[in-house]
Chains A and B, each alone.
Chain A
Amino acid sequence: MVTRGRTMKRQSRLPPLHAALVAGLGWLACGPARAQDATAPDIHELRIMQPEPPRSMDPADQLATDTSSVLGPMYEGLVSVDARRNIQPLLATSWTHDPQGITWDFVLRRNVRFHDGHAMTVDAVVRSFRRLLDDAAPLAGTSRFRTVIESVTATGDDMTVRFRLRRPYPDFLLLLSLSQAYVTSPSGRDMLSRQADGTGPFCFGEWKSSEYVTQYRNPDYWGTPPRIANVRWTWSAEPSVMDMSLHAGDSDIISSLPPLYARQTALDPRLVVHDDPNGPLYWIAINMDRPAGADPRIRQALGYATDRRALVHALLRDQGQAARSPLPPTSPYFIDCAPDPQYDLQRARALLAQAGVRDGMSFSLAVQDMDKPIAEALQDMWKKAGIHLEISRLEGGVYAAEAFASPARKQALRLDGVLASWASGLIPDMQLRPLFHGASAAPAGANLGFFHDPAVDRLIDEGALEMSDEKRRAIYTAVQQTIMKDAPAVLIYTCDTLIGMRAGLSGVVLRPDGALDITHVTQLPPMPPQHDGAAGPVHP
């Protein structure tokens, strides 16, 4: 109740500040909210805060989870994947493929319009995908799709699109469900990076860099209209600010709530926390070209010196799992292949001694600003095994440049390892191939330590093509076991995705790719009187 009162007061006070700025300094405000339609939505404005700002409004030109969450309400792909990983029709109503799995035909949904008013036609879909696949003007998502899709063409039929693949790809439908494959309007192409134009249930309102993105309900949406009139996305890199924003009622939903704050948020009767085990995997890629990486005993020693349970306890407040495979535990192909015990200081010291490391060694690690705590905790942990961890903490841009540096450059930087995270557990090939395939060695891919094992490469290649689920399982089991044995990386943990939100909201979904889906959010009817803490509906 208190929350609601403050919210309304704030809204009523909102115009004067802007008005004053406009009047005084001639700054142009734009983007009036649309009038409400007949079926009144029950949430006037849904406010979501995330850690990162969106990188682009162009779905083909981004790979970040938080960007994908912002784009989700405005765009749609040909298919979608539900929380149980089942493929559902979206802009395509049905599809067929030839026995080899090379040619796929998708029948498009009729009477769908882009936000700019143009009809979604075969031509529009073909142009949208050609844009994604265009090697002459590569976008962030291009390489991921080009390796699979050879061409996208219209067929004679007015509603059918044909995809030709380079080779059979068992997870093709999952690939099409990813945000990079969202269908974009052909008329929006030059402006797409700043102004979204898709077919989704929400239209793009305004994007103020470093402030917010607003969206409003699409009045001409083909499907079930959402129950939200306006959506507002904000972001803050400060965990405490995200938490305070939720407690103070400034935000309704916090995507990825910092684990430290989860317990006290759960204690607040006005708030709820959703704990989804689907989250990124953190690991240290060991540079195989440096002395520490060249010796498998040292690599294994680093693993044994890492107390993952303590890390999960202190940094994630037990809301995560120690890494026991290069695949996340949410993957259907995950098998636990960790040694027991995983943390064994004696063993680490013994392995180091066998490798000829007598008076300790030093290990230099590149870390992104926000992952600093992991490195800081490891520093004290590894010290006990006689390993001195030198942390070089880098801002995002510098980190990306160093993490993806070539072997020669990393040699020059004397970089022994890179701490990184990866959140693509949906398709095993999109986790194992970029991280551990020899052809993905940086700068070409995310194999940041230049791990190269022909046997692993072959298995990864086979797994990607294998149509039989049983054989695939066997292949991926072998890949996981080999990688765990070779230890080209110190696999640390997977952290749960924690969503903090106002009690009374329902329908928040975490998509399998880790992005937040808010299109189905509704306001629950008021709680029975004994739960007086819950907020009532905004529009009774």
Chain B
Amino acid sequence: MNARIMHRLLMLPIVMLVVSFCVFVAVRHLPGDPARMLAGPAATQDAVDAIHHRLGLDRPVLRQYGGFIHDALGGDLGQSIESRQPVAREIARHFPYTLLLGLSAYALALGVGIPGGLAAAMFVDGTWDRIFMGATIVLASIPNFWFALLLMECLSVRWGLLPLMGAHSWSSLVMPSLTLALMPMALIGRMTRASMIAVLSRDYIRTARAKGVGLLRLCLRHALPNALPPVITVIAMNLGSVIGGAVVTETVFGWPGLGHLMIEAVRWRDYPVIEGITLVAVLSVIMVNLGAEILVSRIDPKRRHG
């Protein structure tokens, strides 16, 4: 187990290098020109060329990449073309918002998904199980931006309960986190249920049950810890699609996180920012998956002993 994690850690820099190169080359071949956008539609070709030169975009791509890697190793991700701020600072400014949104969405998803799935597993094929399973599959089928639009229409426009968009107060967080929580909530709920059912059918649980241990106590103390590892793995594996959901959610709600920044950066052809955000996203996906693996190996009694 440790060897595998070490192996993954060693691969990390290589993966980052490959991804950064692919993205670096790809963004520079996107149609459109950041210099043209910066200069405005009425600018002359000379003005555009001058900006190209200032940004170093007139150099060969490989040399630009070399320069980027050289700077990146020193912790410098370059300068945003649009805002002329260091990319690292731009990311540091927007990242907390995405983190906050992600954490609150996951808190919501876990808070509903785990107890719900647990209850469903305790009474398989009972009324609650049927309702819960039906609800999760419907939740997983709703397009998140449509849900967002309905929330905005009802909670904000019709009833005026919550601020429409932006990040002005804690109440601004409600609708985006609800939207983003939909998918992981369904996933966690279903996974908890499936995993719990598997654990509950094991011999030692049956034995404990035969000995008269209460069902609730049995589930919480004995079964749940054993049922969690697959849930953790699923959460980690679906981080990528949650990031995708975050891009859409942040765009709809004008939430000033990395997803919003990414869409803006693509629109502006802000190469260094696109590059920076992609690397952050890839790094967090890898790290979270790695972290999940370590966590699972720690808490899973089966693997700990085996």
Contact = CB atoms under 8 A, between A and B. Distances in A.
A397 B267 contact: yes
A49 B36 CA distance: 26
B42 A446 contact: yes
Nearest to A247: B157
B2 interface: no
Nearest to B172: A17
A288 to B, nearest CB: 20
A494 to B, nearest CB: 19
A133 to B, nearest CB: 13
Given A21-B100, A25-B96, A55-B40, A401 B163 contact: no
Interface in B237-269: 254, 256, 260-261, 264, 266-269
B82 interface: yes
A476 B253 CA distance: 48
B97 A21 contact: yes
Interface in A344-398: 395-398
Interface string A397-433: 1101111100000000000000000000000000000
Contacts of B264: 209-210
A193 B168 CA distance: 26
A208 B256 contact: yes
A62 interface: yes
Interface residues of A, number: 51
A250 B169 CA distance: 12
Given A17-B168, A24-B96, A404 B36 contact: yes
A236 B165 contact: yes
B191 to A, nearest CB: 29
A38 interface: no
Which residue among A401, A434, A446 has the maximum number of chain B CB atoms within 10 Å of its CB?
A401
Contacts of B85: 194, 209
Given A241-B164, A248-B164, A443 B152 contact: no
Contacts of B42: 63, 140, 143-144, 434, 445-446
Interface in B4-38: 31-34, 36-38
Interface stretch (B45-53, B118-126, B128-136, B225-233): B45-53
Given A248-B164, A395-B32, A397-B268, A14 B169 contact: yes
A185 interface: no
Contacts of A140: 39-40, 42-43, 47
B84 interface: yes
A193 B163 contact: no
Nearest to B44: A143
Contact of A138 (B31, B46, B254): B46
Contacts of A62: 40
Given A13-B171, A209-B90, A234-B166, A248 B32 contact: no
Interface centre among A17, A63, A137, A139 (most CB of B within 10 A): A17
26 contacts: A17-B172, A21-B96, A21-B97, A55-B38, A137-B50, A139-B47, A140-B42, A140-B47, A143-B43, A143-B47, A193-B84, A194-B83, A209-B80, A210-B256, A210-B264, A236-B165, A248-B163, A249-B160, A250-B164, A396-B267, A396-B268, A397-B37, A397-B269, A398-B31, A400-B41, A404-B36
The 10 closest A-B pairs by CB, nearest first: A397-B32, A398-B32, A13-B169, A140-B40, A138-B47, A209-B83, A25-B96, A397-B37, A63-B40, A398-B31
